[in-house]
Structure 1
Amino acid sequence: MNCLQARQRFFQEIQQPEEQIDLAKAALYIAQEEYPEIEPEEYINALDTMASEILERLPQERYPLRVIQTINHYLYEDLGFRGNQNNYYDAKNSYFNEVINRRTGIPITLSLIYLELCKRIDFPMVGIGMPGHFLIRPEFEDAKIYVDAFNQGEILFPEDCTTRLTQIYQQPIEMQPEFLAAVNPRQFLGRMLMNLKVIYLNEGKIEQALGVIERILLLFPDSVNEKRDRGILYYHQEQWREAQQDLENYLEILPMAQDAAIIRQILDQMSQNM
């Protein structure tokens, strides 16, 4: 499959009503642009097989903590999944096929495996987009436990989440209710793509970063900042007209933006080349 077909499949998947978006398929279509040879169905089948094996191990009394302990034992002890502590910013950690193949990843991609398995065993969980980290929790009313898929499925309580935030930012952080709010499928995919965008920008891989921004804009067409960033990347590639369109659009919507003076300076420089 070529990149255009993978992009079209991704677009078709995210056009569905929120509750019908298949996160695993969407994540695999993201991966297909980088790995055109992969067959998404093979990975979907692998998830189905894992879920079947978990079902065989579940105790008769399916209390939430027992279910979580069963999943944790299977994923982390039997299969050897783990958080990639040594090479956290490797782009492979953000591609779902690589995470399944290598059994290592970052919080959000390991959480995706966990969520997909839970969906298949009828134990609904949701993603929690905590700043600087990603958690999941059972989708039950008043569920006050969280699971850290990056750290061997560690079970956390709200006060543990506050401690984790303090560790991440190395200063006391006051927990806000929105920090532990559930994310919807589009927000989930957006966060996955944002991770990739940052990695590619840091590595100076402009083509790949542009491809990622294009998919973020499929999710969030009105994202002014993403259009600005795309315009700046076009500028670096000397695609003057595309850059001009995005950057002028940015200033039109946010004329008093903090970086407005810099954007105007870029537009002035480009006008000399056009």
Structure 2
Amino acid sequence: MTTSLIRPPLLRSGIDRNADEKSKNMTDFTTFSSMIKRKKRRLCLSPMAAAAPVKTTGFSAPKFYQEVLTAARANFTQEISFQSKDKDISLAKTLLHISAEDEAFLAFNREMDAHSFENERKGSKVSSDGQDLDHMESMLMAGKRTDEWLLELDAISKEVEVELISKDIGCHLIQVLEAVNKVLFETRGFKRSPVVDSKCSYLHSVLSSRCGSAILLSIIYIEVCRRLNLNIVGSRVGEDFLIWPETQNPEELFKVNSGHSLFRIVNGRCVEDPKSKASDVNSNSLLGLDIATNRDIIGIYLANLIRLHWKRASRMNRGLMLTSPLRPVHDDSSSLPLLRPQDLRLAIMASEKLLILQPHNWALRRDHGMMLYFSREYGEAVQELSICMAFAPEEEAEILEPFVEKLHLLRLESSWKCLGQKGRLTVP
């Protein structure tokens, strides 16, 4: 074994199967003709998703995006369904369904902004019923559909096979991992983004730009190795998410060959960083780590996504915590900070999906309810926080109780304002 092939990935992470025919049909939701023929769905994802009723005739922008949002959420739910065995969950498919939903939401907002701009220029209302193939193009994720991005992962694994064949070497574990590293980090040029933003936080974007967050590079590594029949497992260690090949003999992962251990080859320089808890991992402590399931990995990814969008939403209120209004409880809703509504909605959507994975996580439900509060969706916030109080520890429930009572009053006040506005509009 030579060291020239080794270019270790930096896989430090912030507390960062085959489907049946029905799943295949739903996955191809971006096909133009299937969008026209698709029947009305009743699943409500967000206020935007339910903005317009689906009609049996005609083809409008709200209908198009509602269909895409509904299909993406349904695909996500089906992929991580608790009826499915964890080993059968595809990380790549699940993350691409997440990408599809968020892309549909962003595309809808861009569409509405464009119509508003055109209305201002022309001084007249522009109908959105003239949906054409341009909308289809806008829904492609970086120019490709979900199945095409899955083929991209297949292509990477094929390149690894070619690399092994070209070197006329066998399939020893170390050689396979070196070949994966060479293809990913030298031939393909994948690298960790120095700044975590939305462009490096979605699987299709990382496969396109080859620059991504640490957790997504780990997921790509796992998916490529699975296509090579090599099972890679991982675990959260402090602020890192470490991965390694599944083995019955952990000692072999730490044997040094050509100056590097197998654990070092897979996880990169973070295992030699004295600031990282990963540097303390050895064959004995490795056995004490909790191996992350596929659902766990998806949960870590979604939690990172929530933090990213919340940080962007609250950018003008540096240091604002979701739980800030709980201590102390404010009596005036005018103290609500101004947040970016699009980023806040993306955080709420990620939180909704994480709650599908972890429905009994009271802290997550509390945070979800607080995001709804910041979004001024008081009725929904009351519902989520009331459920949270039933599962939360007693001391937390006592803090939430007066806040929920306040939200009841805010909900009533907002309903009175709506009635008043409606009344004024009907007066001649």
- TM-score interval for Structure 1 and Structure 2 normalised by the shorter chain: 0.7 to 0.9
Match of 1:29 in 2: 97
> 5+ unaligned residues in a row in structure 1: which ranges?
147-152
- Aligned counterpart in structure 2 of residue 224 of structure 1, from 362, 366, 370: 362
CA contact (8 A) 2:372 2:378 kept: yes
Counterpart mapping for 1:1-274 below 5 A: 1=30, 2-15=68-81, 16-36=84-104, 37=139, 38=141, 39-58=145-164, 59-85=168-194, 87=195, 89-144=196-251, 145=253, 154-155=264-265, 161=271, 164=273, 166-168=274-276, 180-204=289-313, 205-257=343-395, 259-273=396-410, 274=412
CA contact (8 A) 1:108 1:135 kept: no
Aligned-partner Cα distance in 2 for 1:174–1:137: 12
Check 1:178–1:186 CA distance in 2 against 1; reply closer, same or farther (3 A cut): farther
Secondary structure of 1:136 counterpart: strand
Aligned-partner Cα distance in 2 for 1:178–1:249: 37
Structure of greater Rg: 2
Secondary structure of 2:233 counterpart: strand
Aligned-partner Cα distance in 2 for 1:62–1:253: 50
Check 1:226–1:178 CA distance in 2 against 1; reply closer, same or farther (3 A cut): farther
Q: What letter corresponds to residue 222 of structure 1 in structure 2? A: H
Residues 263-272 or 36-45, more deviating: 263-272
* TM superposition score normalised by structure 2: 0.56
Aligned-partner Cα distance in 2 for 1:124–1:231: 38
Aligned-partner Cα distance in 2 for 1:197–1:269: 25
Structure with the greater relative contact order (CA < 8 A, sep ≥ 6): 1 or 2?
2
> 5+ unaligned residues in a row in structure 2: which ranges?
1-29, 31-67, 105-138, 255-262, 314-342, 413-428
Residues 236-245 or 105-114, more deviating: 236-245
CA contact (8 A) 2:231 2:246 kept: yes
Match of 2:35 in 1: none
CA contact (8 A) 1:130 1:179 kept: no
Q: CA RMSD in A?
A: 2.5
Report deviation, 1:40: 0.8
Q: What letter corresponds to residue 142 of structure 1 in structure 2? A: N
Check 1:168–1:90 CA distance in 2 against 1; reply closer, same or farther (3 A cut): farther
Report deviation, 1:252: 2.3
Report deviation, 1:173: 7.7
Q: How many residues align?
A: 259
Aligned-partner Cα distance in 2 for 1:56–1:13: 31
Check 1:168–1:199 CA distance in 2 against 1; reply closer, same or farther (3 A cut): farther
